[in-house]
Structure 1
Amino acid sequence: MSFIINQELCIQCGQCEPDCPALAISHEETTKKYEINQKRCIMCSHCACICPMAAVEDGKEFFLDWKDPACDPESLHIFLAGKRSVRQFHDREVPREILEKMLELGSYTGTASNAQDWHATIVVSPEKKTILRQGVQKMQAQLCKAIKNKGIRILAKLIPAAKAYLDDPNIMDKLQALEEELHSDHDRVFYQAPVVVILSTTKDSPFGAANCILAGSAMMYVLQARGIGSCYIGFAEQMLNRSKSICMQVGVPQGHKIHMVFALGYTKVKYQRLPHRKKMPVQFV
């Protein structure tokens, strides 16, 4: 697939050239026409989307028209602020068409250099979800055992990412609570959610984490608009990246790194108000 400018439709408005992130469009002095350098083009479609005459074509199909739905900014602000991490789900199947709509919106989010390199593993099988949950719980138990070892705690504090966690004065109480949950029938990993989404890219993707997080965030917001709750499971992401076996069993592509895991389903509860949040530190320069 390659993009070309239909010169019969082009009105020389010049909107496409400055909008191209790859500097692939130029106005040729000899022909007095806008041309696309195929060697530079990253296939992002910005030129096709901005053209008022639909003069940019890819030889495959027409692009869908889009018009600003003119959402009320204040209502949208409240809607987005109301996104909660849901941990109480109904045992109710989420229709396949809703999951496909979720994935469609995720594919529209921006990716660095238009890589579009994300991959989604949608876990709906009870057997696969059990493999995921038990695998993560086993690693949680190993972590609890390791942290209880004073020598390991001292060494782990040399790792910046672990130090803040281990410096928590209530760490032992929290570990005890976690261990109690591990020995109960409660699913404190995915909360009995009917669906678990795993977003990954190849390990050599330079911006894989950002690309997946952007897509996953959009997915969770569109689910909220359809009355479906979700919860980002950061611990599962970290643990699964340490277990090739579990990833293979649930179908994550070989050689991929997981960047985001979230559970989703119809929520049992309705949130009545927004929580308190600390003000984001900021400086204007």
Structure 2
Amino acid sequence: MAAAAGGWNLAGGQRRQRRRGRAGEEAEGGAVLRRLQEARDDLLSSGFWAASAGAVRTPLAGCAEPPAQCVCYGLGRFSGCPAARHQLAFLLLLLEELRVPPEHCALFDPAFTAQEAAALEHLGLRLLPENEEGKHGIEGSATLFYMVHCGKALYNNLLWRNWSAEALSKMVIIGNSFRGIEERLLSRVLERDYSYIAKVLKGTEEVALPAHPRYLDTFNDTSVHWFPLQKLKGLSPEVWNFVEEPTYQDCEDLEIIRKEDRAEQHSLAATAS
């Protein structure tokens, strides 16, 4: 058999070691994909997906255009975490339901391992090249944002980046309940630290995903949010005038990994080595 791309030019021992390493990586990747398929089957057999699909269809019925692309933040370590694996399986079912091609779905989580990144690419999904901190502009395209159990700052940053009635009306967000955020935070804290969430509440429609005993920790407090254009246009003009980028200087519990945090971690690791 012919050598492939010069890969057979290694010495015998090195060649066997490399092949064993590749075989091990492929076996691990295959195991991750098999567990993901099991999670998908579980969602379908439990009835949770069928019930949840109805909640997702509700906003789409009133949308001028269905989502053409998807962005996913904060999925987590799905190779070892069953909850994250079920969330990924749910996302893949969503893409099928909405007929969004996998290559039109981009993901980012600083926790992804190389193995997990390879599994996502095997599924046809794209990885965002850098930490956007949630500041992803839709650039005129109807977009689904899948952000289950993400920090409040990510939602706030996303709203800020797309702060216009026209842009918000083209967005659907599946993530932590905005009503729940409002109920749990003091109003002064919500308005000070997460002002864009506070301002958009009256322009938001929200439907909770159904509760299911098997997924209480996986999808708890998760809702589908959308922003009807007429409701947004009904907000006072002052709501749209303030467009300052959030800084979170006074926020005591910031649930977000910032770009500089990640860069500092890499710098410290390099220094230690």
TM-score when normalising by structure 1: 0.24
Q: Which has the higher contact order (CA 8 A, sep 6+)?
A: 1
Name the larger-Rg structure.
1
TM-score when normalising by structure 2: 0.25
